[in-house]
Amino acid sequence: MTMTDPLDMQQYRIERLPKRDKGPVERWLAAAGPFLALAAFVLFAYAVELPFLRGLQPSDVVTASAKQTLEKVGLERFIRNNEYMLAVFAASIILWMTQAIPNYLTSLLLIITLVLTGVLPEKTAYAQLGHPVMWLNIMSFVLASMLVATGLAKRFALWLILRFGKTAPSVFLTFIVINMILSAFISATTAKAAILLPIFMVIAAIYGAEGGAKRNNFGRSIVLQNLLNINLGAGAFVTGSGANLLGAAIIGGAISGSVFFADWMLAMFPFMLVLMLLGYLLAMRIFFPLSPAERLPQIEGGMERLRAEYGRLGRMSANEVKAAVIFVVILALWATDSLHGISPTAVAFVGAIVALLPRYGIVQWNEVDVPWHLMLFSAGAYTLGSGLDATDLPAIAVNAFFNHLGIGTETPFWVLYLSLTALMVYSALLFQSKTMRAMIFIPIAIGVANRFGFPVISLALPVAFMIEHVYVLPFNSKPAALLYETDHYSLGDTFRYGVTMMTIAWLLIIAAGETWFRYLGITPNGVFGLF
């Protein structure tokens, strides 16, 4: 990145970051993607007859939605729908992973394909754009835009850095606090990355890291730790991302109940905070230890520039005060949802309406940045989930798999727990979408729990808790792709650090299953049974 003034915060805006060219493997995958997807669709839809589908019996169907579909269309058509569903699923995964076409276009293709093949009626397929999680995402972007437009998010982050970031180690610890607090309010990890990127890039420049040929361990550490913490912070709250909310909704549907904000936070806030601190220690001591020179500011007057940037914000405006009040009220209502029963979407709806009110509001609609391409992508993922629910494909496949292996219902709980949580966390190395992972692996966990007679919560919720581990490779998440453009670290840097943290997260979820989750009543033999 060529910079005239490394301390100019404006040059680190997302739209000004250089775009990396695809590597040879990425280009090959993108070119081959459409052909591979078409081949997968034809193979599963028309060329082969899979025994576990062709031998399907009505007694094999588990979900209420699938049973209703079976009664309506008959067994033969139900089996055909499953074959189409598997074909669409395989083709969509290939297109999403190879990035052969834009993600939103893949979503549009799969929606219309599920309609044309008769897997879903038009009303059901198109209605996913109105899914409650979609509305929560839209309202959250309104609220995040309010933070940006008023300057409150920038003021808060700069104040914390100037107040507590006196030394290099304290800078990193301060960003842990910033990420955790912002995660409670902002349900879009990309929005958090956009807010924090200019601030930590300026700090990296102050400590002599300008990317490219001027990489150093301070730059590697501050960018990769923020990438880690943006995602881990999201995992601490059910509202931390749309994928969390989707996972909670899938589980809620399976148990005919709800996974509340307060319950998720109680289970995961301590877990994610411990992971953040471990990430800090490993980065500072093992992966990116700072030399004595890297612990000292390299640009004279650098922190003064940040202080001047903070000073230009002036005194808190009335709109900033109103924005702060709105967010405190929203967080309080989210945290007490198990008491009043108002959904996070409804709470965010009211907050966004207040923020957009003429004369008395804080932000105007033309100041709101809603990434509609991400909304369309999410709608496609939710439609795919509706198709999986209507066909019961995950449960049918799970049962067929265990029957093929000759595994009965006597399998110990912890064998299933270790296997499913490992599958979920390491699947992030291959999948581009948290939403897709939630759509695939949470229903599998529900199917496994039903087959072996364990409470759905005991397996599905720990699997859902692993959604946010998407920080290893650039294609794993939008923030990962965005921060890779800073050119402060190599693929080797992010892979070594990310896989290590991912493995530690899996080991900790195992430990939590035997201790903290048992205490909360998530895993068997719990004490209080909160869920």
List pLDDT tens digits, range 459-484. 999 999 999 999 988 777 778 877 88
Q: Across all residues in the chain, what is the average pLDDT?
A: 83
Residues 184-237 pLDDT 10s: 877 778 778 877 887 787 788 777 777 666 778 888 999 999 999 999 999 999
147 has a pLDDT exceeding 80 = no
Mean pLDDT of 12-22: 54
CB contact at 8 A, 172 and 221 = yes
77-89 per-position pLDDT tens digit: 999 999 999 999 8
427-449 pLDDT, tens digit per residue, is 888 776 787 788 788 888 988 88
CA dist., res. 376 & res. 383, Å (int): 11
Contact of 493 with 224, CB cutoff 8 Å:
yes
Instruction: Please state, in angstroms and rounded to a whole number, the distance separating the CA atoms of residues 390 and 69.
Output: 7
Has residue 531 got a pLDDT over 50? no
Please give the structure tokens belonging to residue 330: 């929203």
Residue-level pLDDT at 344: 82
Taking Cα atoms as reference points, which of 141, 364, 361 lies closest to residue 239? 141
pLDDT computed for residue 409 by the predictor: 67
User: In this predicted model, what pLDDT tens digit does every residue of 27-66 receive, in sequence order?
Assistant: 888 899 999 999 999 999 999 988 888 888 888 887 778 8
Q: Are 457 and 208 in contact (CB under 8 A)?
A: no
For 312-337, what is each residue's pLDDT tens digit? 888 888 888 888 898 889 888 887 87
| pLDDT attached to residue 467 | 93
* Mean pLDDT along residues 115-124: 93
Q: What is the pLDDT of residue 313?
A: 81
- 172-177 LR contacts (CB < 8 Å, sep 24+): 172/221, 172/222, 172/225, 172/280, 172/283, 172/284, 173/280, 175/200, 175/222, 175/225, 175/226, 175/229, 176/225, 176/229, 176/273, 176/276, 176/277, 176/280
pLDDT > 90: what percent of the chain? 28
Q: Predicted confidence band at 4 (pLDDT cuts at 50, 70, 90)?
A: low
pLDDT of residue 284: 93
Model-level pTM? Answer: 0.76
Average pLDDT over residues 492-497: 91
